[in-house]
Amino acid sequence: MKKYFNRFEEGFLIATLVLMVLLIFGQVVGRYVFQSAPSWTEEFARYIHIFQVWIGAGYAVKLREHIKVTAFVNIFNGAARKIMDIASTIIWFVLIVLVAVFGTQLVVATLQYGQVSPATQIPMWVVYLAVPLGSLSMAVRLIQQLIGIIRKDYSNIKEEEKAKEKEEVPL
């Protein structure tokens, strides 16, 4: 299941990136070559980007690539560090669940009002669905991270991080 979820996220992000590039390229060609471009391409590319951001946020959680300030946490080792990592992951999880709940309320409200987008006439609840879906993806990844933190041995965490830094190749 986890493997399919990973593949879906990667495939979705790649496919939507390709589609977005094609739409924007078509918009540019239409504008500069034919002096006229369909308005729906720009709007559709914008909505694709919204989904990319929210689904990509869940994928970034999987890769542990979200921005975080670690100067204070890196001072600690062992049990204190583990407790801080668990606490920060739980706080992040609670915030994401709140975003998912309010995002779902937004989707339901938009569905009830029947709002549609100006150019493509796509129901706006479909566009806003990116918020709860992306939040759900992040929540699942945070639960996976929390399990990993609980199982991980933190006794030599500083040495592991130093070894990892040496492995990273600078750009």
Question: Angle, nearest 10°, between helix axes 130-151 and 2-32?
Answer: 140
Q: State how far the Cα of 135 lies from the Cα of 101, in Å rounded to an integer.
A: 9
User: Residues 55-75: pLDDT tens digits?
Assistant: 999 889 988 887 777 777 777
> What is the mean predicted confidence (pLDDT) over 123-128?
93
Average pLDDT, the chain: 86
Report the pLDDT value the prediction gives residue 162, as an integer from 0 to 100: 60
Predicted TM-score of the model (pTM) = 0.80
> What is the mean predicted confidence (pLDDT) over 63-89?
82
In DSSP terms, 116 is beta-bridged to: 123
Answer whether residue 169 shows pLDDT above 60.
no
Domain boundaries, the chain: 2-155
Residue 112: name the closest of 95, 128, 136, 131 by CA: 128
Q: How confident is the model at residue 167 (pLDDT cuts 50, 70, 90)?
A: low
Question: For residues 152 and 129, which has the higher predicted lDDT (pLDDT)?
Answer: 129
> What is the mean predicted confidence (pLDDT) over 129-146?
94
